[in-house]
A = this chain, B = another copy of it.
């Protein structure tokens, strides 16, 4: 459960409102940790109750922008959390279950789904590569940038792998 700490990180980078955070989560951070705006609003309330962040604007001002910033206690909490061990979660992918099912009930209809996934992963791969080019190529790198680049490259390699996988399976099914 790292949403609260992802939010603290994002707010330390730049104090923001809930919706701004939601937008940012659909990009950069969100490539490895997704969150909907409902989740974010819920969590921001908790962060404030915990005394980790502070929001501008009066109570009960529904519809009016509310900007959050991190308090010292929040930064301390983030430091503490950052040093915790993080669990190795296995991959979890419906497509693999579908392919295994296909081995039992026959592959009719499997190819369509695979083609969609192939297109989707190609798109994601192109997006990651574009970001890589824009943000990292031909620039002098700071310490922090090296790490961000490596994170992105994990994403790139994963998508590359997946594209090749879909292509292979389609070929095996005689559909490409």
- A residues with a Cβ closer than 8 A to B are 2, 5-6, 8-9, 12-13, 29-34, 75, 78-79, 81-106, 108-110, 112-113, 116-117, 120-121, 124, 143-144, 146-148, 150-151, 153-155, 157-158, 161-162, 165, 168-169, 172
Given contacts A113-B86, A161-B158, A79 and B94 within 8 Å (CB-CB): no
Given contacts A9-B97, A100-B9, A33 and B92 within 8 Å (CB-CB): yes
Cβ contact of A158, chosen from B117, B121, B158, cutoff 8 A: B158
Q: How far is the CB of A135 from chain B (nearest CB, A)?
A: 14
Inter-subunit contact A113/B12 (CB<8 Å): no
Cβ contact of A82, chosen from B6, B105, B158, B161, cutoff 8 A: B105
Majority SS at the chain A contact face: helix
Given contacts A31-B91, A144-B103, A150-B168, A2 and B108 within 8 Å (CB-CB): no
Given contacts A32-B91, A75-B105, A90-B34, A154 and B162 within 8 Å (CB-CB): yes
Select the residue from A102, A143, A153 with max chain B CB neighbours within 10 A: A102
Q: How far is the CB of A32 from chain B (nearest CB, A)?
A: 4
Inter-subunit contact B161/A93 (CB<8 Å): no
